[in-house]
Amino acid sequence: MTHSAPSAKALVPFVSVEAMMKLVHHIGIEPMLRGLADYIEQDFRRWELFDKTPRVASHSAQGVIELMPTSDGEVYGFKYVNGHPGNTRQGLQTVTAFGLLADVGNGYPVLLSEMTILTALRTAATSAMVARHLAPKGADTMAMIGNGAQSEFQSLAMKAICGLRSVRLWDIDPAATHKAANNLKGLGLDVHVCNSAEAAIEGAQIITTCTADKQYATILTDNMVGAGVHINAIGGDCPGKTELAPAVLLRSDIFVEYPDQTRIEGEIQQLPCDHPVTQIWEVIAGRKPGRTSTGQITLFDSVGFAIEDFSALRYLRDAIKGTDLYMELDLLADPDDPHDLFGMLQRAAP
């Protein structure tokens, strides 16, 4: 006897890479970035409701594989993500990801999705949402140091959410800069190709660093950073991988997602474990001040946190309603008698 068609309880909505790309174009990349930023900000305002734990990381010489779980008490979410800087030499992505939402009440998944593209979007949306709170008023120029897979998303998110007008690109690999400049053509930004990190920073009120090498690096030295800027440091995201000279950190007011994770993975792994930092959710919720003076250097030491992925999946679950931009996967066994899983298997014998 062959197994009958799966019941509705067995089916879980799945958003593939192809469907995600269609959804981005259906919504528009800038409206989608704004929507993601709004969902992330909403969840940061209710930060205290969430389960919070540093991501579970499995490190190797080649990179890292991580699980990032959280729950708001009603919905559970997790993301699987890797970071392998050498992958591009083999024609592979540095970062890939997928994620899931589930009903806390019964444990059944309610959404499964690719998250390679969604992570790029949510990372950029988070950066720009935070910059909206911390960057100098009227900031319209950003230095984008590191022109890999994230650079265009960061640039467009800052445009869509913060009103960025000009981006100044630099990468140690000129081909990466050429790629980013070409991709950003015609998207409403003044794009400047620079021949050094110092040149990229000239006139920029926002400095974003996003490099991939898994090492202690000094992308920004102390003398490169003037007063009054906002630094969006997103490349340092695991132990032994940083981008900023310690002197830059000591001159900055530092804002983080979750200190227990950032002290292990972020720029502040270079500082004593009691160095003062402010959790960005407290600024967003009005509990703590953000930018307090024109000369202040604000630094968002961003490593990515599970609540941002939860927000992105929550946005996605709402965004696909009423569309055909997902498929239903037969993911869950659903025997007629919940006690008789074996019987269901036997009845499916060819």
Tell me which residues are annotated as active site.
237
Tokens at 275, concatenated: 């160095």
Determine contact, residues 109/20, Cβ cutoff 8 Å.
no
CA distance 241 to 283: 27
Q: 3-state class of 257 per DSSP? A: coil
Pairwise CA distance, residues 227 & 235, whole Å: 22
Q: Is 133 helix (H, G, I), strand (E, B) or coil?
A: helix
Pairwise CA distance, residues 278 & 258, whole Å = 9
As given in the structure block, the two tokens for residue 249 are 């950190």
CA separation for the pair 96, 312 (Å, rounded): 15
24/34 Cα distance (integer angstroms): 12
The Cα 150–Cα 236 span in angstroms is 14
